[in-house]
Amino acid sequence: MARSCPISTSFIIISVLSHFTSSIGLRISPDGLPDELKSLDIGPRIRVDPNATRMASKDFGKLVHPPNPAAVLYPSSIEDIASLVKFSYNRSFPFSIAARGQAHSLRGQAMAPHGVVVEMRSLNNDSRGSRIRVTKIPISGSYADVGGEQLWIDVLQATLKHGLAPVSWTDYLYLTIGGTLSNAGISGQTFRHGPQISNVYEMDVLTGKGELVTCSKDTNSELFFAVLGGLGQFGIITRARIALEPAPKRVKWILMLYDDFSTFSTDQEHLISINGLDYLEGSLFLQNSPPDNWRSSFPPSQYPRISSLISKNGIIYCLEVVKYYDELTNHTVDEELQELLKGLNFLPGFAFTKDVSIVDFLNRVHSAELNLRATGLWDVPHPWLNLFVPRSRISDFNSGVFRDILPKINQTIAPLLVYPMIRSKWDDRTSAVIPDEDIFYAVGLLHSSGADDWEPLENQNKEILKFCDQSGIKIKQYLSRYTTKEDWMNHFGPKWRTFEDRKAQFDPKMILSPRQQIFNST
């Protein structure tokens, strides 16, 4: 089986690029690409200048700095990408290719050192029109056919024009459809509708062989389930058919505080077991994670009271729920919420209600992003750690991590999320991996730091993983950060053999997404 090699090596061998200075790094002539690539009609859309290649080696995490790609493709059509993949696949020494959307990866997962990065957002320049098309079918189910390069915020705005919206979201909407579907796509709606990968009817996927395949649960199903949560290993998502529902107009948004984790988690699990709520997430606040962080939704006037509560208890938990409504349910929503929240044991006097539009709620993180950008605090290192923790061990995780490890660090830390999900809402046929319990918790430690002080946070992450391992807490990483095949095998567990077989079937030369470091050591 031929493995992908750096484009520098392979292109030297096949005489595609020229003017190199060594066998390690190419120096591509400004005169342009040789005829063999130009014959594919994508030559004019490939850039090899330092500005393009340097940009394609950056991501949101800002933690890793691998070598630049040799080239960047700015496609104007799916055919452009297919030509590139076929070109690599048909060589004896193929080069690696990575699809790049918003580059919201944390550890260079969308990079291709010495290979070619495909700037998927360039497809927005397709002269054939919008790549978001809504089909409204009231009886059998409405849907949107969406280009893999499109942003969820653009899908929201396009579908709202038809009175519709997707059912499952991520907290941040400036991510591409292909990017989130390659992982899972989770948020506070996941307990009810499942992750985004559970709400896809059909996809067009460009495999590692350069074949464009339409797939669904019933047609080419092996590819369909492989790609969903597949970390870009089996193909590039060029179109996804997303489930839609009638869009609400507004939301009632309630935040409730707790000083006891057992009470907090019991109330969370109760709420996801009953019908009625549309969103549920949880978070925690420590002395070094103040209530006015970038994700906070508390009324600013309440910051002193909440800070005093944190100082008194050392740690406070926040339960956050939402109920959608529109003009038809406007007169009943408050009564319904009272019934749903009846019997909860949050701290008296520490429940806060907001009433906002559905767009303001779903796009809430973008407002924080704008503030952080204005103060230079967005484009900084993000040593995040995202985990799925089995319900049976979440109390131990709270004691060992939330109460012991996290408070040790002498740095202000960012939002800390913890909320439950239901296993039955996930389709086990996909490539995504979750704990083997009916209920598990998503934990998100969304750290950010200065350019030179992220290592203490990263070391803390390692301490957390070590604690889980030594305590026998069988976590699964989300947005995984493994670097060896053995670690990946342990991560996938019983799914590994299927994952490996699918790779051999759909990307046998291991061309796609090399920086996941599952089958490639780059």
CB 148 within 8 A of CB 178: yes
- Identified catalytic residue from 59, 80, 104, 382: 104
Where is 239: in which H helix or E strand? strand 235-246
Alpha helix stretches (DSSP H) within 472-512: 485-492, 496-506
What whole-number distance in Å separates Cα of residue 456 and Cα of residue 462? Answer: 10
What whole-number distance in Å separates Cα of residue 100 and Cα of residue 105? Answer: 9
- Reported as half-sphere exposure (CB side, CA atoms, 13 A), residue 352 has a value of 17
- Picking from 392, 391, 383, 380, the residue whose alpha carbon sits closest to that of residue 465 is 383
- Identified catalytic residue from 154, 202, 281, 320: 281
Mapped onto helix, strand or coil, the DSSP state of residue 238 is strand
CB atoms within 10 A of CB 308: 10
End-to-end alpha carbon distance in the chain: 18
- Reported as half-sphere exposure (CB side, CA atoms, 13 A), residue 94 has a value of 25
Alpha helix stretches (DSSP H) within 273-357: 303-313, 333-340
- Identified catalytic residue from 79, 126, 171, 500: 171
- Picking from 389, 502, 444, the residue whose alpha carbon sits closest to that of residue 106 is 444
Q: What's the token pair of residue 57?
A: 């080696």
Where is 136: in which H helix or E strand? none
Distance of CA 98 to the CA centre of its chain: 16
Q: Residue 6 carries which DSSP code?
A: -
What whole-number distance in Å separates Cα of residue 42 and Cα of residue 81? Answer: 9
What whole-number distance in Å separates Cα of residue 65 and Cα of residue 132? Answer: 34
What Cα–Cα distance (Å) separates residue 30 from each residue in 43, 46, 165?
Answer: 13, 12, 46
What whole-number distance in Å separates Cα of residue 405 and Cα of residue 390? Answer: 19
Catalytic-residue membership of 171: yes
- Picking from 246, 270, 274, the residue whose alpha carbon sits closest to that of residue 336 is 274
Mapped onto helix, strand or coil, the DSSP state of residue 421 is strand
What whole-number distance in Å separates Cα of residue 360 and Cα of residue 53? Answer: 36
Q: Which residues are catalytic?
A: 104, 171, 281
